[in-house]
Structure 1
Amino acid sequence: MILYADKLDETQRHVEEAGGKIVKPAYSFPGGRRFHFSDPDGYELAVWSDK
């Protein structure tokens, strides 16, 4: 699943504070930036921003 956030860096900080583990740090791709994380149950998700 890929989620959207206006403020990617702030969202990454919140994910980490909530117990998420960063699997792939923020990187640029055509159309924006995103990072991947796993939640405490082990599910991998991504968050992207067009900014």
Structure 2
Amino acid sequence: MLFSNQGLNGGFYKADMCSEASKGGALLVFYSPSIETTYDKVVKSGGVIVREIFDFPGGCRFHFSEPSGNEFAVWSESR
């Protein structure tokens, strides 16, 4: 399910119970026009990549955890 034009775009996805998403929190996904540049900045800033860049319908993304342990993702329309 997607939502848009509310000052925020997003959606919901029901994950399998055995997936990482089942830990119980929302996954915030940030947009980047250059996913490789953002990937490098995340790593240089102390982020830990928990899922390498992968393709999905509409673009590509990667997941990372920041120093406090929260998981986020970054997506882009292309590599």
Q: TM-score, length-normalised on structure 2?
A: 0.64
1:45 aligns with 2:72: yes
| 2:43 corresponds to which of 2, 11, 16 | 16
Unpaired stretches in structure 2, ≥5 consecutive residues: 1-27
Give the CA deviation at 1:33: 0.3
Which structure has the bigger radius of gyration?
2
Percent identity of paired positions between Structure 1 and Structure 2 = 45
Secondary structure class of the residue paired with 1:6: coil
The two structures, once aligned, show a CA RMSD in angstroms of: 0.4
Q: TM-score, normalised by structure 1?
A: 0.98
Runs of 4+ in 1 over 4 A off after TM superposition: none
Matches of 2:36 and 2:54, distance apart in 1: 11
* Cα deviation, residue 14, structure 1: 0.2
> Unaligned stretches of 5+ in structure 1?
none
Larger relative strand fraction: 1
The size of the alignment, in residue pairs, is: 51
Are 1:5 and 2:23 counterparts? no
Q: Once the 2 structures are TM-superposed, how far is the Cα of residue 15 of structure 1 from its aligned partner?
A: 0.1
